[in-house]
């Protein structure tokens, strides 16, 4: 079974600075998807960024980018120019690309990000 590990329960960063959240995963599959979701105090899960394992290029969405290291099974999220609105719980998630098992997201425990003004 796949597992996702976020080793940083909490992180903090000064406004306008850059922060990197870590995520590692364990799988024997060769094709899969990885995601970062943000959960603000409202508790709705919001998709931040996604990465397809067969793509070597790291995904980028505005101030958010990932460092995907397939061999190391690492998928970190970098937030540049941090803003107060970035404060939230961030979850790393894995989804199989194969039909068997593709139905669910496997989540990490989350990292609580605080932005200091």
Which residues contact other proteins by CB under 8 A?
A: 4, 33, 35, 37, 42-47, 50, 52, 91, 93, 95, 97, 99, 102-105, 107-110
Give the nearer residue to other proteins in terms of CB position, either 16 or 102: 102
CB of 101 to other proteins, least distance (A): 10
Contact 70/53 with Cβ under 8 angstroms?
yes
Give the nearer residue to other proteins in terms of CB position, either 40 or 81: 40
Give the nearer residue to other proteins in terms of CB position, either 40 or 116: 40
CB of 5 to other proteins, least distance (A): 11
Radius of gyration of the chain (CA): 14
Beta bridge mates, 24: 5, 74
* Residues listed for the chain: 117
Give the nearer residue to other proteins in terms of CB position, either 14 or 109: 109
In sequence order, which residues have a C-beta less than 8 Å from that of residue 4 and are 6 or more positions away? 23, 24, 25, 26, 92, 93, 94, 106, 107, 108
Q: Are strands 111-116 and 10-14 parallel, antiparallel or unpaired?
A: parallel
CB of 68 to other proteins, least distance (A): 15
CB of 66 to other proteins, least distance (A): 15
């Amino acid at each position: 079974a796949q597992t996702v590990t976020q080793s940083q329960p909490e992180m903090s960063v000064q406004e306008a600075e850059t922060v990197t959240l870590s995520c590692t995963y364990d799988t024997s599959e060769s094709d899969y998807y990885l995601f970062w979701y943000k959960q603000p105090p409202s508790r709705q899960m919001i998709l931040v960024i996604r990465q397809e394992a067969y793509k070597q290029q790291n995904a980028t969405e505005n101030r958010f980018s990932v460092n995907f290291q397939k061999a190391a099974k690492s998928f970190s999220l970098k937030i540049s120019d941090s803003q107060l609105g970035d404060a939230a719980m961030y979850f790393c998630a894995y989804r199989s690309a194969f039909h068997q098992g593709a139905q669910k997201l496997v989540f990490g425990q989350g990292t609580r990000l605080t932005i200091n003004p």
